[in-house]
Amino acid sequence: MFNGDSYACAHALQKQGFDVIASCRAQQDVEKLKAEGLHCIQLDLADTNSILSAVETVKAHTGGTLYGLFNNGAYGQPGALEDLPTDALRKQFETNVFGWHTLTQAVIPMMMKNGAGRIVQNSSVLGFVALKYRGAYNASKFAIEGYTDTLRLELENTPIQVSLIEPGPIESRFRANALAAFFDFINLNDSRHEAEYLKQKQRLESETSGNKYTLPSEAIVEPLVHALTASRAKIRYRVTKPTQYMAISKRLLSSRMLDKLLSKGG
């Protein structure tokens, strides 16, 4: 599930001299990136054995040390929470949360051995505010925010720094992946939300987001490079105007006022 911002970041970091080890779930994407000159391995975040095998490959490539981890593999499961079976949430969390934990836990000893390390988690504006019909994704990103804040506290006396990137609308394959997940679990004709689902389907089928504040995939590169190289990385990097606006709104507005604002963006 190699999306646009991961692709842009992998190439940008390599151009800046990093020894990049990219990963993709699909072998065909692995081969594509290899053909473009990137060192790429197969890794499926929903498969513990795949993750641990990938870590062993990384150890062999790096001599058992690793400096940076950029966790960015995720997808969005659309649908009203009342319509989503529990298995849909399990699947969402397996990739968006549990896989990240397995990978993070496996690489921390490598960073300790290296005497320095950076863990950068790509969260979302939906990691601190919620939108309708994105409940499974909201929940997974809220979980990542809490997980990352805890990890940062637990690693504060180590040489490892932990950061969150919180993008808003970014052009990537996210909509296409979400559309596929939509059809996996949602029956449009058997829900009181049918009219809204048709709107969501139309939005996901669009090749572009239609949001005037949407930034290209490359917008993630600068905050990622800073998180990896600054002597004191930021705790949070808020990317795009909507993320910055929502962060301010959450601080200033009451919960009911924020609900009214967020209800307009279903």
| Rounded to 5°, angle at Cα 227 from 221 and 232 | 150
> What is the pairing mode between strands 39-42 and 21-24?
parallel
- Annotated catalytic residue: which of 7, 75, 133, 137? 137
Q: Is-catalytic flag, 197?
A: no
The contacts of residue 155 (CB under 8 Å, 6+ apart) are: 108, 119, 161, 162
Task: Give SS3 for 14.
Answer: helix
Among positive and negative, which fits the CA dihedral 118, 222, 124, 73? negative
Give the relative orientation of helices 135-154 and 86-93 as an angle to the nearest 10 degrees.
40
Site of tokens 């990890």: 151
The two three-digit tokens of residue 67, written as one number = 């400096």
Contacts 24+ apart (CB under 8 A), 18-21: 18/68, 18/228, 19/62, 21/58, 21/61, 21/62
198 three-class SS: helix
Instruction: Give the separation between CA 187 and CA 84, rounded to whole angstroms.
Output: 10
- Catalytic residue numbers read 137
